[in-house]
Amino acid sequence: MIKTKKKGLLIVLSGPSGVGKDTVSDAVLKENPNLWKSISMTTRSPRENEVEGKDYYFVSEEEFQKRIQEDKFLEYATFNHHFYGTPKDKVAEKLNEGKDVILVIEIQGALQIKERIKQALFIFLLPPSMDVLKKRLTKRNTDSAYAIDERFKTAYQEINELPKYHYVIVNDTVEAASKKLNAILISERCRVDRIEELYLDTIEEKVHEKLVDNKKLENSEIKIDL
């Protein structure tokens, strides 16, 4: 009986660096064929095993600035002296196709989107503790000791933005966190404001609608003389 809106749902997943945003979102992607993960653009260098066009679009700062001037980003931000941004065109294309789109982005960029797109869904991913977060940052072995300290300090500031999000998930284990994220997506797709229209597809329902319409007509014709 329910026909949902064709346009997809825009999901924004944020959290401190090292909390496991990509790992959790990738686990959910495997269970959701209608979910598409947006690819960000960045001015930082690729890390080991990162693939152009799969993990990020890697560009020069000059190219990034040019795209800013041309208003080609849905959001952009600086993090650890590098630019990160979400290209507009692909996100719009997928949403219009009816795909749900998940953006895995930093808090700065997420808050920009919150100002521009009120109907987007915002989810904050937290570590079980700050000690665990620091261990995860160190274990990645992708940054210098100075960069790790900077990311850790930034994490404390970012957590203060938590009240601006709709949901929070603690990433104690990938399995548990991905189940919670998947449950949120399922519940959001069932929201009443996601319904485009109701339609009747049985004789009983059509008869009931006719009776309701006739009753409304009778009531509308009642005249009261004072």
Among 13, 3, 30, smallest CA distance to 122 is for 13
Return the SS3 of 57.
strand
| pTM for the full predicted model | 0.77
DSSP H or E run through 198? strand 195-198
Going along the chain from its start, the domains and CATH numbers come out as 2-38+98-197 (3.40.50.300)
Which residue has tokens 């940052």?
A: 137
In order along its 226 residues, the chain shows pLDDT tens digits of 555 567 899 999 999 988 999 999 999 999 999 999 999 999 999 988 889 988 899 999 999 999 999 999 999 988 778 999 999 999 999 999 999 999 999 898 899 999 989 889 999 999 999 888 888 888 776 667 777 787 788 888 889 999 999 999 999 999 999 999 999 999 998 888 777 655 555 565 556 556 656 655 455 443 333 3
